[in-house]
């Protein structure tokens, strides 16, 4: 029997959801507000009305130059996502449609690599990068982020693929489709929402990755995480400038998330309802 939801319950739920959403978003909102304050205003306690000055943005741009870091962020996050998909789609296909007794173990093992603190492998990885001359190299950091996010990408795609009836793929095989055609022309179109949300999530993860990008890049390959980090100071006023740098760094990803929220939500809830 369907449960009836009263208007009052709906209103209460809506208000609660809005409050939670605002609480989650508030730190970002306050960062954006602070970026439009002067340094003196920024340290004068809680204040939601900024003077509207753009001096912090001007100073941030004059001191470091935003575009170079932005370009690196785009190259690294999009590049690592595409590379991860190239590896993960066949891997997830194999695990979803031709599972073996050990498939679950392999998946768990892949996920377990995410449980290790990154700093534990800093020295060996740094040595490898240094010896191979890969420090501050865009391609190297792109491959690094691909490998870091690969377990999540494989897991997500595996979950989506499992929701696709195997019979459809079987039918395509009976119609004479090769493995390549099966993956490209049958599986992929059906899994587009899942692949799109995996892509978006991976871009966000790669965009926000700070530990390895700060450790392994200096100038040529430095993305926006390095840009933000350079505005913190132990002595002196920097909150407004740091907020301006953070706003500039998160703006592209916020805008991308805003326009693709339908795909993101659809992808993330894909398979949630049986």
Partner 1 sequence: MRPFAFTLGLCTASLLAVAAHAETLTIATVNNGDMIRMQKLAGEFTKANPDIQLNWVTLEENVLRQRVTTDIANKGGQFDVLTIGTYEVPIWAKNDWLVPLDNLGADYDVDDLIPAIRNGLSSDGKLYAAPFYGESSFIMYRKDLAEKAGVTLPEAPTWDQVADAARKMTDRANGINGICLRGKAGWGENMAFLTATANAFGARWFDENWKPQFDQPEWKKTLQSYVDLMKEAGPEGASSNGFNENLALFQQGKCGMWIDATVAASFVTNPADSTVADKVGFALAPDTGLGKRGNWLWAWSLAIPAGSQKVESAEKFISWATSKAYGELVASKEGWANVPPGTRQSLYANADYQKAAPFAKMTIDSINAADPTKPTVKPVPYTGVQFVAIPEFQGLGTTVGQLFSAALAGQMSVDDALAQAQTAATSTMTEGGYIQ
- With respect to partner 1, which residue has the nearer C-beta, 188 or 230? 230
Among positions 55, 61, 136, 163, the unique one binding partner 1 when judged by CB under 8 A: 136
Q: Is 63 in the site for partner 1 (CB under 8 A)?
A: yes
Contacts (Cβ under 8 Å, ≥6 apart) of 111: 151, 155
- With respect to partner 1, which residue has the nearer C-beta, 64 or 173? 64
- Residues in region 232-261 near partner 1 by CB under 8 A: 232-238
Q: What is the DSSP letter of 115?
A: G
Q: Is 51 in the site for partner 1 (CB under 8 A)?
A: no
Only one of the segments 83-91, 159-167, 174-182, 215-223 lies at the binding site for partner 1 (rule: CB under 8 A); that segment is 215-223
Report how far residue 127's alpha carbon sits from residue 113's, in angstroms, rounded to the nearest whole number. Answer: 20
Among positions 9, 44, 113, 178, the unique one binding partner 1 when judged by CB under 8 A: 44
Q: How many CB atoms lie within 10 A of CB 155?
A: 19
- With respect to partner 1, which residue has the nearer C-beta, 178 or 233? 233
How many residues bind partner 1 (CB under 8 A)? The answer is 30
3-state secondary structure of 40: helix
Count Cβ atoms within 10 A of the Cβ of residue 144 and give its class: 0-12 exposed, 13-18 middle, 19 or more buried: buried
Q: Is 229 in the site for partner 1 (CB under 8 A)?
A: yes
Q: Is 173 in the site for partner 1 (CB under 8 A)?
A: no
Contacts (Cβ under 8 Å, ≥6 apart) of 142: 75, 76, 79, 80, 83
Report how far residue 29's alpha carbon sits from residue 223's, in angstroms, rounded to the nearest whole number. Answer: 23
Kindly tell me the number of DSSP H helices and DSSP E strands found in the chain: 15, 0
What does the per-residue mask of binding to partner 1 show for 78-117, with x meaning CB under 8 A? ----------------------------------------
Q: For binding to partner 1 (CB under 8 A), which residues are involved?
A: 39-40, 43-44, 63-64, 122-123, 126-127, 129-130, 135-136, 214-215, 218-219, 222, 226, 229-238
């Amino acid at each position: 029997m369907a449960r009836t939801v009263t208007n009052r319950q709906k209103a209460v739920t809506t208000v609660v959801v809005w409050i939670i959403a605002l609480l989650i978003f508030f730190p970002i909102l306050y960062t954006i507000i602070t970026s439009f304050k002067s340094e003196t205003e920024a340290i004068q306690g809680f204040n939601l009305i900024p003077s509207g000055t753009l001096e912090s943005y001007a100073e941030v741009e004059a001191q470091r130059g935003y575009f170079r870091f932005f370009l690196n962020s785009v190259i690294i996050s999009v590049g690592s996502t595409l590379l991860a998909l190239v590896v993960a789609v066949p891997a997830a296909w194999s695990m979803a449609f031709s599972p073996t007794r050990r498939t679950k173990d392999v998946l768990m093992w892949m996920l377990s690599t995410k449980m290790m603190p990154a700093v534990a492998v800093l020295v060996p990885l740094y040595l490898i990068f240094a010896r191979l001359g890969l420090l501050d190299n865009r391609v190297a950091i792109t491959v690094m982020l691909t490998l870091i996010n690969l377990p999540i990408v494989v897991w997500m795609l595996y979950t989506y693929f499992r929701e696709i009836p195997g019979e459809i793929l079987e039918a395509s095989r009976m119609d004479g489709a090769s493995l390549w055609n099966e993956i490209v022309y049958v599986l992929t179109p059906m899994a587009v929402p899942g692949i799109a949300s995996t892509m978006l999530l991976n871009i966000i993860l790669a965009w926000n990755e700070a530990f390895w990008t700060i450790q392994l890049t200096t100038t040529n390959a430095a993305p926006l995480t390095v840009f933000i980090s350079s505005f913190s100071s132990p002595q002196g006023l920097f909150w407004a400038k740091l907020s301006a740098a953070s706003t500039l760094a998160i703006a592209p990803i916020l805008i991308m998330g805003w326009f693709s929220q339908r795909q993101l939500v659809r992808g993330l809830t894909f398979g949630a309802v049986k």
